[in-house]
Amino acid sequence: MVEIGENSEFDKLKNNLLRDSKHGSKIMDEKQLENIDVFCQEYKHFLDKGKTEREVVKESLVLSEKFGFKKFDHNINYKAGDKIYHVNKNKDIVFAVIGKNKTKNGVKVAVAHIDSPRLDLKPNPIYELNDIALFKTHYYGGIKKYQWFAIPLALHGTVFKKNGESVDICIGESEEDPQFCVSDLLPHLGRERMKKSISEVFLGEDLNILVGSRLLASEKGVVGSKNEIGLVKLNILKILNENYGITETDFLSAELEVVPAFKARDLGFDRSMIGAYGHDDRVCAYVSLMGILNCEDVEDTVITVLVDKEEVGSGGNTGMNSSFFRYFIEDLAKQDGVEARHVLSNSKCFSMDVNAAFDPNFPSYYEINNSCHLNRGVVVTKYTGTGGKSGSSDASAEFMAQVRCLLDKNNVIWQTGELGKVDGGGGGTVAKFVANLNLEVVDVGVPVLSMHSPFEIVSKIDVYSAFLASKAFFKNF
């Protein structure tokens, strides 16, 4: 018989044998919760300032300079305590704090991606139909197309002109700015359409952005002959030319991204959550950035990599599968008189990315024991993948043991996670591309509700726990 009651054998067994995953507010005191609010206030600003990978690179660079980070120069011989940043093609940024051991024992790397699902303008975007001007788009990353109809949108990006100049564009964010929208069919006329499956009715080619409806006019009235067509399009091009000096052909040498126009906001009566566009994966980008900016006196060199193109498979010269990160390590290793391959093979990585939080609105899509949950802290995901772990790097048991000890020792609230039900779908992260370089790597991140939607949700306790995890990783691993 097992004795039951307070401090009983039953309690001891419970404490010793059962896995413990508690709601963060059971563990955190009022002071900590206050710190969390302050931290998340800054995080919300970061989200509002960086809605594209280029903007996040710029904003991160500005923040890092305040903490004494300097531009990397491979000709400089860096010493312990030096803080550097290195930008790759305006879409990736790497930060490093040189440790006392330099790269000799390997380095500690946190990687997060700064691209998010969105609508990209096509190279030839502008057209006119029945006196309405629109932009054609090609969506980027995994979106549920219906979520992008009838919401306020903003246009962000950079245009490179024929004369070599470039112009940054950001329209729809300030109060005075106009905004954009994809129109949706009214329910009154949707009867036939509603009978079809969702993938049949919401098509990529229908994600066209309304950009204008007034005819080109001079002081004397409408320009051109009575039956002239294309006057709305021409008027839009005239406005763009007046404001930005661009022509229709310049869209070819541009990267213009259409993103939700709303700002990051507290969510819920208790303000426990944040709703925003782009938590995936700017939440991990922010915590891994803050982790390294607050680093001093480290033993091994620590590195944060903010990387582009994760949402489309990490390809291209700015994706994690490109060589820019390996080249950076090669530069550091060379200074220290060691081989880059030895540095990489001795290195450890937190692949910091979000996981799908258990959604009370859709419980049947989750396996409740292995899903992550809002407010239970940073989530450690041993493997990702689709249909039988396909495409996953699967962290080793050895490494998982080190990670859980680290988090426990540093009082970081953490939980385990798996992406939904087996055979329910799946996904991947940059972990496998890091693993290709022979580092030890595991996915560590923040649970997210409504992932890949225009308005994703995270819990503030989890955001802060992820920050504490990145700090502990850099300082104490």
- Nearest residue relative to Mn ion (C-beta): 281
Element (H, E) at 238: helix 231-244
Residue among 107 and 112 whose Cβ is closer to Mn ion: 112
Give the binding site for Mn ion (CB under 5 A). 280-281, 353
Residue among 125 and 260 whose Cβ is closer to Mn ion: 260
Closest CB 369 distance from Mn ion, rounded Å: 23
Closest CB 117 distance from Mn ion, rounded Å: 7
Residue among 240 and 378 whose Cβ is closer to Mn ion: 378
Closest CB 50 distance from Mn ion, rounded Å: 15
CA–CA separation, 164 vs 154, rounded Å?
Answer: 25
Closest CB 382 distance from Mn ion, rounded Å: 17
Number of H helices and number of E strands within the chain?
13, 24
Residue among 180 and 455 whose Cβ is closer to Mn ion: 455
Torsion, Cα of 402, 67, 95, 38 (10° steps): 60
Residue among 353 and 359 whose Cβ is closer to Mn ion: 353
CA distances from 224 to 232, 295, 467 (A): 12, 64, 60
Which single residue is written with the structure tokens 């091009």? Answer: 237
Residues ≥6 apart with Cβ < 8 Å to 268: none
Beta strands in 60-131 (DSSP E): 70-71, 83-88, 92-97, 108-113, 118-129
Closest CB 13 distance from Mn ion, rounded Å: 39
Closest CB 298 distance from Mn ion, rounded Å: 27
Cis peptide before 20 (omega within 30 of 0): no
Closest CB 407 distance from Mn ion, rounded Å: 21
Residue among 295 and 463 whose Cβ is closer to Mn ion: 463
Q: Within its chain, how far is the Cα of 189 from the centroid?
A: 37
CA–CA separation, 232 vs 364, rounded Å?
Answer: 49
Residue among 115 and 128 whose Cβ is closer to Mn ion: 115
